């Protein structure tokens, strides 16, 4: 323990302050958002209900106010096997309709 009236060790104090500043800078850099990286969209595919298989066809469907919700097509699955009007029936669907 140093006596109270001794001269402070400025070198040690500066080294400790410098170390603290480096640590704070590292923490700040970790919190600073990184600049966004450029991306390229090289392809796109769509499959919307109502046979709209492109963004343009889907937009047309919306503009025309078409309802793309239909009864489950038989080539998708046998709706009678999975349908039950009771929404609490385990393992069953309570709707015969969907976007196909």
pLDDT in tens, 45-56: 888 999 899 989
- What pLDDT sits at residue 5? 65
- What pLDDT sits at residue 66? 93
- What pLDDT sits at residue 3? 58
| Any domain includes 67 | yes
- Enclosing domain of residue 59: 49-99
| Any domain includes 59 | yes
pLDDT in tens, 23-40: 999 999 888 888 889 999
Tell me the C-alpha distance between 15 and 100, whole Å.
Answer: 69
Number of compact structural domains in the chain: 1
Helices (H) and strands (E) in the chain, counts: 3, 2
For the chain, what is the mean pLDDT?
90
Give me the residue label for tokens 């450029």.
Answer: 38
């Amino acid at each position: 323990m140093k006596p109270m009236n001794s001269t402070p060790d400025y070198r040690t104090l500066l080294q400790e302050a410098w170390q603290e500043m480096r640590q704070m800078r590292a923490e700040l850099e970790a919190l600073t958002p990184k600049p966004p990286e450029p991306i390229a969209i090289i392809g796109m595919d769509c499959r919307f209900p109502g046979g709209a298989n492109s963004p343009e066809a889907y937009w047309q469907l919306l503009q025309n106010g078409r309802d793309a919700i239909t009864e489950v097509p038989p080539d998708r699955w046998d709706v009678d096997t999975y349908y039950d009007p009771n929404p609490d029936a385990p393992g069953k669907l309570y709707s015969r309709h969907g976007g196909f």
